[in-house]
Structure 1
Amino acid sequence: MDLDVPGAVGRVLDEHFDRWVVRAAAADGTFAADIARRVAEFTRRGGKRTRAQFLWWAMRACRSGDVPGGAALTADAAVELLQTSALVQDDVMDGSVRRRGGRALHADVAAQYAPGAGTRPAADLGACAGVLAGDLALVCGRQQTAALRRAGRCAGIAFQLRDDLDGLFGDPADTGKPCGDDLRAGKPTFLVAVAHARALARRDSASLEVLGRCLDDPDLDDGGLAEVRRVLVATGARAAAQARIERLSERSLEHLERARPHAPGAERPAALLRAAAGLARGRFRGEEGGA
């Protein structure tokens, strides 16, 4: 591979595009398939692949051990797709009509799809297609990337819910921050929203009074905080948050499994996702009786 880095990167891109264009055509056999083919063709005629060569040789020069060739070439291919995105959208912004020895992508779309090329409707269509094509180049990998993104999103929401619970029921000695700051600041957290909605549905005026009095009170003391905790437990808001954390964590791990990372260290993302959701943390205040 050292002898022909551009060729090796090109072969990786070819293998990827062969599968990717088929998937795009299955989703929409006309416009999506055409734009996907255009992105593939534009990337394939990428010239010297200077950026990919810089990345390859930087990894080779700075490695502390052997760099897996496949992983390095995948990274190089990703750089080429990033370059495709930048160039296609740059041509739209600059109004350039030529690129890499042919018509710029947006100009070519305008010429093919819009009658009377050069008219305003044709130019608008080409510009929109160019923006979409550039975005498509950024995300055209990698189904694995989409699964990892979903895993991270689920874990991120679970993390926020866990942080909300910590902020009301956590031990400051463990969390490193005082309890109740979200309440004092008047933040409409998931916990408060659920408690309020359930209290309304049950016509629980006592709980509504506590929430109305304590939320957004910068001087809320420990007694008032204890009242709010009792409301969150009694309305089931705390249990609802905990259940949602567990569901989101399960979904996060399911998405991670779909990504099927098998490289060395692939077991670490699952452990990090569990940690982000706080599944290994200790009990909260009041979990074994009073708030």
Structure 2
Amino acid sequence: MPTANAALVDRENLRAGVDAALARHVAGLRETCRAISPDAAPLADAVESMLAGGKRLRAAFCYWSWRAHGGTPGDGREQAVLRAGAALELFQAAALFHDDVMDDSSTRRGRPTAHRVFADDHRAGVRRGEPRRFGDGAAILLGDLALVASDDEMTRALADLPAPVAHIAHAVFADMRTEVTVGQYLDLVAQTMPWGDPQEDERRARDVVRAKSARYSVEHPIVLGAALAGADEAAVAGCRAVGLPLGEAFQLRDDLLGVLGDPSTTGKPTGDDLREGKRTVLVARALARATAAGDAGAVDVLTSGVGDPHLDAAGVATLTELLVRTGAVAEVEQLIDELCTEAFAQIEARDWPEPARSALVDLAHAAVQRAA
């Protein structure tokens, strides 16, 4: 999130409240691990490290949507909303632990990923067994711990709310978790498919964008905030109309940063998405343009290079140049603009009061106009 918009997360006790809830969770986990065995202490350290680096973007969308639908700072529901924000952050941590294992990512937010850290510790300790399998297993368990914690935090958030409000909010949270899991599977499936029909390639890529990232990054947090405020069905539908196109634009920006971003800012090596074989809209558009132009050489370079784990810096540079030269980068930028236009038109159509309206507009800009 751009520095100029970081204040949106700091206002009205938002960051402090969410971080306090997360700190309570880490302290409780540390005590539990210590009581079970000293050998379990690294689990709490790894969860704390993952939670420390988040932008709190999802929590901010949830909070300011709550404010937009009648929530008042300091009222009886504020703590519930802040705890719901913490639950969103814990769920994101769970998804990142698991995602890094499935993608075999080496860094996250500029730090070694958990499975790499645990594998290195295994290797340094001259232990028995395969270090990589140990690291992967530990990271999967870390994701499970964060997932359990997110459920616990949401349960506590909803405990004292009116039953109808709690029921709707819990349903939103449950749908989000299911969709992300299904989206993660669709991502795995897409990476196993041979390149073929450009329209089908893009359809798969858009399905992954919506299920795995768009809804859980923006749409569901905005809907959850409205639900916690007791918003009616029409208001919730309006949140979905804002959140889905904005969430898609958010993920498309992420895809561009994965190829063109500065590693010192993104915290990930340039080209990781290409080595991992991510079937993004960006790559699908490049293949479609190269195919339409009859450029068999470009098609061959793209289909053989994307997904090559041994791709070196020169190979990444070649693929990146093709993504630009085919016009795919420009087309994805245009698609981001179109999705943002749709999302901002939907915000304009809502009767959200200030300061929530301006906060959500600024958050929307921060989500898509970012360098990390």
TM-score (norm 2): 0.39
Which structure is larger by alpha-carbon Rg, 1 or 2?
Answer: 1
Which has a greater percent of helix? 2
TM-score (norm 1): 0.49
Question: Which of structures 1 and 2 has the larger relative contact order (alpha carbons within 8 angstroms, sep 6+)?
Answer: 2
